[in-house]
Amino acid sequence: MSLILRSVRSCLSPAGAKEAAGLFRLSWCRALHTDNQTTLESRENAGGQTSKDFSFIPPLPGQDSTLNWAGKKFEELPIVHVKATYNNTHVQVTSFDNKSLVRTSCGTEGFRNSKKSSSVAAQTAGISAAAKAIAKGVSHVRIVVKGLGPGRQAAIKGLTMGGLEVISITDNTPVPHNGCRPRKARRL
């Protein structure tokens, strides 16, 4: 058994824990990384990215980043706008400079009347929008969702099922700060 494993085992053993609890410190336990100088030297010798430079979290709009998706920066990725109302779901793919590439909704996919408000219709609209976007050369997208309709999550699932790679999802639903009086509640 190596020296590191023995020291970790002694730190985690009940006797070692009681002794450490009595002293309120763990100074007798050997640290796994002996000092910062050796870790800094090994990081410099490796020449790779440091943990400060790399993050799995997408950057905020306007923030500098070295991350690229299909050769594009985060700000240059196309945006999918999903508007989920109670009666319909609209899906529109735009370029980063707001030029419309693809536009579809549940009604254009052949659903009529109350069937437009179903999650199956929203998923179909998402799949159709993804297929049309891929035909125009779009592979990675950002999603902006607006509204509280039943097609919110179904449209996102349809976009991923259609073959688009989703980088970020943003909820842009308008929330009033006690502005206009809302509609009366439905009595069923």
166 in the same domain as 81: yes
Beta bridge mates, 94: 79, 100
pLDDT tens by residue, 116-141: 999 999 999 999 999 999 999 999 99
Which position has the higher pLDDT, 128 or 16? 128
3-state class percentages of the chain: helix first, strand second, coil last, to nearest 5:
35, 20, 45
Q: How confident is the model at residue 8 (pLDDT cuts 50, 70, 90)?
A: very low
Predicted pLDDT of residue 67: 74
* Percent of the chain at pLDDT exceeding 90: 57
Q: Is-contact 26 18, C-beta < 8 A? A: no
When divided into structural domains, the chain yields a total of: 2
Rounded Cα–Cα distance for residues 153 and 166 (Å): 13
Same domain, 85 and 148: yes
Beta bridge partners of 4: none
* pLDDT at residue 56 tops 60: yes
Whether residue 85 is found in the same domain as residue 158: yes
CA-based nearest residue to 93, from 151, 162, 147, 174: 162
Looking at the predicted structure, is the pLDDT value of residue 30 above 50? Answer: no
**Is 128 domain-assigned?**
yes
Q: Based on the fold, state whether residues 161 and 100 are members of the same structural domain.
A: yes
The answer to the question of residue 46 being in a domain is no
Read off the pLDDT of residues 65-119 as tens digits, 9 standing for 90 and up.
667 887 888 888 999 999 999 999 999 999 999 999 999 999 999 999 999 999 9
Task: Mark whether 137 and 86 lie in a shared domain.
Answer: yes
Residues 6+ apart with CB under 8 A from 161: 123, 126, 127, 130
- Which residue segment(s) compose the domain that 164 sits in? 74-171
Helix axis angle, 119-135 to 152-161, nearest 10°: 40
185 domain-assigned: no
pLDDT of residue 43: 52
Residue 32 lies in a domain: yes
Query: Is residue 33 located within the same domain as residue 79?
Result: no
Does residue 10 contact residue 29 with C-beta atoms inside 8 Å?
yes
